[in-house]
Structure 1
Amino acid sequence: MFQIQIPSLIDVSLFTSLASLVILGLLNWYWKKTSTSTSSNDLLRLPPGPWKLPLIGNLHQFALAGSLPHHFLRDLANKYGPIMHLKTGQVSTVVISSPELAKQVLIHEAAAFSNRPTLLAMEVLSYNYSGLFSSPCNDYWREMRKICVLELLSAKRVLSSASLREEETWNLVESITHLSPLVINLSEMIFSMVNRIIARAALGKKCKHEQEFTSLVHQIFILGSSFDVTDLFPSLKFLHHVTSAKSSLENIHRKMDMILDEIIDDHKLVKGKSTKNAAAKSIPKSNVPESAGEDHQGLVNVLLQLQESGELQFELTTNHIKAVTMDIYTAGSETSATTIEWAMSELLRNPRAMEKAQFEVRQLLAGKRKIQEIDLKELDYLKLVIKETLRLHTPVPFIIRQATKRCRVSGYDVPSEAKVLINAWAIGRDPKHWGADADRFEPERFQSSSTDFRGTSFEFLPFGTGKRICPGISFGTAIVELALSQLLYFFNWKLPNGTKPQEIDMTETMGIAARRRNELNAIAIPFFP
Structure 2
Amino acid sequence: MFGCLDCNFKHVTNTLPESLPMHSSEMKRIRQELKCVQRQDKDMNGYISTIFPHFLLWRKTYGPVFLYSTGVLEILHVAQPEMVKDMGHWTPSELGKPQHIMKSRKPLFGLGILIANGDLWAYEKKILAPQFFVEKIKGMIGLIVDATVPLLQSWENMLNSTGGSQKIYVDGYLRNFSADVIARACFGSNFIEGKDIFCKLRQLQMLISQQDTFVGLSALWKYLPTKRNWEIQMLDQEVRLLILDLSREHRSKSRSNAVTHMSTYDNLLHAIVDGANQCPSYSSAPEDFIVDNCKNIYFAGHETTAVTATWCLMLLAAHPDWQERARAEYLEVCCGQTVLDIDVLRQLKIITMVIQETLRLYPPASLIMREALTDIRLGGVDIPHGTIIQVAISMLHLDLEAWGPDANEFRPDRFANGAAAACKPAHMYMPFGYGPRLCTGQNLAMAELKVLLARLLSKFSFSLSPGYQHSPVFRLTIEPEFGMPLVVTRLP
- TM-score when scaled to structure 1? 0.78
Query: 2-side partners of 1:272 and 1:212: how far apart?
Result: 26
Aligned to 2:408: 439
- SS of match in other structure, 1:458: helix
1:302 aligns with 2:267: no
Residues 252, 415 of structure 1: alpha-carbon distance in 2 compared, 3 angstrom cutoff: farther
2:361 to 384, 388, 392: 392
- Pairing 1:77–2:59 present: yes
> 1:110, 1:74 → 2: CA distance?
29
Question: Which residue of 2 is the match for residue 263 of structure 1?
Answer: 246
The answer to whether the 8 A contact 1:405-1:415 is kept is: yes
Tell me, yes or no, if structure 1 residue 164 matches structure 2 residue 147: no
> How far is the alpha carbon of 1:412 from its aligned partner?
4.7
Quote the Cα distance in structure 1 between the aligned partners of 2:202 and 2:421: 29
- Paired AA for residue 27 in structure 2: F
The whole-number CA distance in structure 2 between the counterparts of 1:214 and 1:465 is: 27
Report the Cα offset of residue 392 of structure 1.
0.6
Which amino acid in structure 1 is aligned with residue 118 of structure 2?
C
SS, match of residue 430 in structure 2: coil
The answer on whether the counterparts of 1:86 and 1:93 sit within 8 Å (CA) in structure 2 is yes
Question: What displacement does 1:251 show?
Answer: 1.8
The Cα offsets for residues 178-237 of structure 1, whole Å up to 9 and x where unpaired, read as 111332221111111001111222321125454432222222223334449994497xx7
Structure 2 residue aligned with 1:179? 158
Distance 1:518 1:390, change over 3 A: same
The answer for the alignment partner of 2:76 in structure 1 is 94
- Partner amino acid for 2:319? N
2:221 and 2:149 mapped to 1: Cα distance? 52
Code of the aligned partner of 1:149: A
CA contact (8 A) 1:390 1:462 kept: yes
Q: Which residue of 2 aligns with 1:359?
A: 328
Q: Is the 8 A contact 2:112 2:293 kept in 1?
A: yes
How far residue 398 of structure 1 moved from its aligned partner, in angstroms, is 0.6
Which whole-Å deviations, capped at 9, do the CAs of 1:408-458 have from their partners, x for residues lacking one? Answer: 4445553432221111110000011111111110111222355279x9921
Of 384, 395, 399 in structure 2, the residue corresponding to residue 426 of structure 1 is 395
Aligned residues of 1:115 and 1:137 also touching (Cα < 8 A): no
| Partners of 2:56 and 2:82 in 1: CA distance | 16
Equivalents in 2 of 1:381, 1:229: separation in Å? 38
Amino acid at match of 2:116: S
1:315-394 paired onto structure 2 within 5 Å: 317-371=286-340, 375-394=344-363
Q: Which moved more, 1:417-426 or 1:341-350?
A: 417-426
AA paired with 1:131?
A: G
Query: Which of 102, 106, 127 in structure 2 is aligned with 1:147?
Result: 127
Q: Structure 1 307/101 Cα, relative in aligned 2: closer, same or farther at 3 Å? A: closer
CA distance in 1, matches of 2:181, 2:288: 23
**Distance in 1 between the 2:382 and 2:218 partners?**
21
Matched to 2:266, the amino acid is Q
Q: Secondary structure at the match of 1:240?
A: coil
Aligned twin of 2:448:
479
Q: Deviations over 1:227-268 (max 9, x none)?
A: 49994497xx79824555543321220121121122122212
Alignment correspondent of 1:17: none
Secondary structure at the aligned position of 1:134 is classed as: coil
State the distance in 1 between where 2:304 and 2:484 align.
16
- Name the Cα RMSD after superposition: 3.1
Which residue number corresponds to residue 63 of structure 1?
28
Give the Cα–Cα distance (whole angstroms) in 2 for the partners of residues 61 and 318 of structure 1. Answer: 43
Contact 1:264 1:300 in 2 (8 A): yes
Is the alpha carbon distance of 1:241 and 1:72 closer, same or farther for their aligned partners in structure 2, counting shifts above 3 Å? Answer: closer
**CA–CA separation in structure 1 for the residues paired with 2:218 and 2:321:** 51
Identify the match of residue 216 of structure 1 among 173, 180, 200.
200
Number of paired residues?
Answer: 455
Q: Give the drift of 1:72.
A: 3.2
The CA distance in 2 between the partners of 1:445 and 1:75, in whole Å, is 28
Counterpart check, 1:133 vs 2:114? yes
Work out the CA distance in 1 between the residues paired with 2:180 and 2:425.
31
User: Deviations along 1:64-86, whole A, 9 cap, x unmatched?
Assistant: 34495544313321221111100
Verify: 1:113 aligned to 2:113, yes or no.
no
Does the Cα contact within 8 Å between 2:127 and 2:275 map onto a contact in 1?
no
Letter in structure 2 aligned against 1:155: V
- Residue in 2 aligned with 1:491? 460
> What is the match of residue 505 of structure 1?
469
**Aligned residues of 2:334 and 2:344 also touching (Cα < 8 A):** no
SS in 2 for 1:506: coil
Q: CA deviation at 1:272?
A: 3.3
Q: Which of 14, 20, 45 is 2:15 aligned to?
A: 45
Cα distance change on mapping 1:193 and 1:517 into 2, 3 Å: same
1:517 aligns with 2:467: no
Partner SS, residue 422 of structure 1 = strand
- Separation in 2, partners of 1:491, 1:86: 48
**CA gap 1:374/1:241 in 2 versus in 1, 3 angstroms:** closer
Shifted more, 464-473 versus 514-523: the winner is 514-523
Q: For the residues of structure 2 that align with 1:217 and 1:238, how far apart are their CA atoms?
A: 20
Report what 1:13 is aligned to.
none
- The amino acid that maps onto 2:168 is I
* 1:114-143 Cα deviation digits (max 9, x unpaired): 33433332334444xx210111122x2212
- 8 A contact 1:117–1:419 mirrored in 2: no
Structure-2 change in CA distance of 1:311 and 1:103 (3 Å): closer
SS at match of 2:100: coil
Are the structure 2 counterparts of residues 457 and 135 from structure 1 closer, same or farther at C-alpha, using a change threshold of 3 Å?
same
Of 406, 417, 436, the match for 1:448 = 417
Quickly say closer, same or farther: Cα 1:373–1:69, change in 2 above 3 A: closer
**Aligned partner of residue 339 in structure 1, secondary structure:** helix
Which of 243, 247, 250 is the matching residue for 2:233? 250
SS in 1 for 2:301: helix
Q: Are the aligned partners of 1:98 and 1:427 in contact in 2 as well (CA < 8 Å)?
A: no
Matched, 1:196 2:183: no
How far off is 1:331 after superposition?
0.9
1:4-59 alpha-carbon deviations (Å, 9 max, x no partner) = xxxxxxxxxxxxxxxxxxxxxxxxxxxxxxxxxxxxxx9x93259xx854xxx421
SS of residue paired to 2:330? helix
1:373 to 1:52, Cα distance in 2 relative to 1, 3 A: closer
Structure 1, 182-191 or 467-476: larger mean CA deviation: 182-191
- The residue type equivalent to 2:63 in the other structure is G
CA contact (8 A) 2:200 2:239 kept: yes
